[in-house]
Amino acid sequence: MPLLRPLAPVASALTRPYAWPLRHMALLLCAAGMGSALAQAPAPAVLAPAPAAPQSALPSLTASAASGQNLSELVAKARGYDAQWQAQQADAQAAASRAEQARSGLLPSVGLQAGANTSHVEVSVLPGSFRSPQQNLQLSAQQPLYRPANKIAYDQGQRGVDVARAQLDSGEQNLLVRVAQAYFDVLGAQDSLAVVKAQKAAIAQQLEFAKRNFEVGTATITDSREAQARFDLAGAQEIAAENDLRVKRLVLDQIVGAVGTVPRPLAQPLQLPALMPSDAQAWVDTALQGQPQLRQARLALDIAQLETKKAEAGHKPTVDLQAGYVVNRYPNGSVTPQIGTSYRTNAASVGVVMNLPLFAGFAVQNRIKETLALEDKARAQLDDAQRNVEQSTRTAFFGVQSGQAQVKALEAALASSQSALDANKLGYEVGVRINIDVLNAQSQLYQTQRDLALARYQVLLGQLKLRQAAGTLSDDDLRAIDALSLRAPAP
């Protein structure tokens, strides 16, 4: 029996950077008198080294999709198709129309009325009966001079328009985030599938080597069984990854209204943009100034306060300017006054009318109590909205910070995993590691590649969500993501 493993694997390992300690070890063993044993040992079959794992399984996949659509292009499509966004736009238009309805209470109203009737009259002092047809035409107009409730209703309508604008801003930012979420979900699913396929290919090669070594007697059946189990597991993971990618693409297609949408991948290596400003309080201050949901809560309080004033106006008088013009025509004359021939009367009037409510069964007082309670409710909801905005902004900020730190840690882990895999392959070649060690190292490397890709996407998406929480998300932020994408090929 030879005292050492065959020299052929060692010779192949000497071409690696890790080989110099082994070379010195062999020299020391020879100096100790073991060289003769090595010379007499028969040379068995050579263990084939496992293939070097690729540094990344992602570039080959992303290069094939460089002609896809970037994030801004997908958002432009979603604006013209997404049902939620279309509904929010229609709601904003409805709010503008409601405001114009309230404005009508300040403008004059004009009406025209026409009628025709026939009267059958019997008079006891005159013989027989008398039929008197009548035709009339009336034009009336009214201009409010003092109606405080109408003026307050108009102010509420303007606040309602502002609420609709805030809701539209919130809906637009939500649309940008939903498209970005679907965009990064598809990219992440594509990268996951690419990593699984690359891992499966590496395991297949390792399985082939294990079977070959078992046939020549340099490995046990355990190595083949372990590699086969990993290969079968990789096949199941590939099926799951393909289905996940299919589902993620369906979600993106539904938002943008196109079938078979291909998002343009990000360039590799990806350099994540720095988070500016880097202070959480600065983001919170920005959010408290103009965050759409907070604007809605403030406007709701204004509307509630105006509702109280409108209820108090129930005690105040109203003054209107009224004018009218009436034309009556009697084709056969009339009995009263007794006129036997056709004639017509014209009457015009103009004047000021005041109405002063005196008592309405305590309806006004109770309405005021109700509006004061609703005002307190709106004020409490505003406080709650401020707290939620502050908390969500800080949560989004710390999420981005944590994601950036995680990306750096995964980048270091990727380099370490690559070194660990190289070391395990070298150990397998010289006989100090077994096949399962190589398989575990491969699995760790590919899992780290996948986690790193997904973590980068989460950081980019987290930055968009942070700007949404602060109420500043816009198309400029999408263009910053577009700058990280692969360049489209020249036509």
Cα dihedral across residues 143, 145, 147, 151: positive or negative: positive
Can you give the pLDDT of all 491 residues of the chain as single tens digits? 333 333 333 333 333 333 333 333 333 333 333 333 333 333 333 334 444 444 455 544 444 456 689 999 999 999 999 999 999 999 999 999 998 999 999 999 999 999 998 877 676 665 556 677 888 999 999 999 999 999 999 999 999 999 999 999 999 999 999 999 999 999 999 999 999 999 999 999 889 988 988 888 877 898 889 999 999 999 999 999 999 999 999 999 999 999 989 999 998 888 898 888 999 999 999 999 989 999 999 999 999 999 999 999 999 999 999 999 999 988 877 656 666 677 888 999 999 999 999 999 999 999 999 999 999 999 999 999 999 999 999 999 999 999 999 999 999 999 999 999 999 989 988 888 888 898 999 999 999 999 999 999 999 999 999 999 999 999 999 999 999 988 765 55
Task: Tell me what pLDDT residue 130 has.
Answer: 65
Q: Which one, of 105, 102, 149, 154, lies nearest residue 313 by Cα?
A: 149
3-state SS, residue 350: strand
Give the residue from 81, 184, 140 showing the smallest Cα distance to 455: 184
Q: Is 234 helix (H, G, I), strand (E, B) or coil?
A: helix
Q: Are 14 and 48 in contact (CB under 8 A)?
A: no
CB of 159 closer than 8 Å to CB of 306: yes
Do 7 and 35 meet the contact criterion of CB atoms below 8 Å apart? no
pTM of the model: 0.80
Cis peptide before 21 (omega within 30 of 0): no
pLDDT at 156: 95
Assess contact for 307 and 153: CB atoms under 8 A: no
Give the CATH number of domain 59-106+148-315+360-482; options: 1.10.357.10, 3.40.50.300, 1.20.1600.10, 3.10.150.10: 1.20.1600.10
What is residue 29's predicted lDDT score, i.e. its pLDDT?
34
Q: Which pLDDT value is given to residue 294?
A: 96
Q: What is the pLDDT of residue 34?
A: 33
DSSP string, 301-315: HHHHHHHHHHHHGGG
113: left (phi over 0), alpha (psi -120 to 50) or beta: beta
Q: How far is CA 227 from the centre of its chain?
A: 42
Q: Where are the domains of the chain?
A: 7-40, 59-106+148-315+360-482
Strands (E) located in 31-128: 109-122
Q: What pLDDT is stored for residue 405 in this prediction?
A: 96
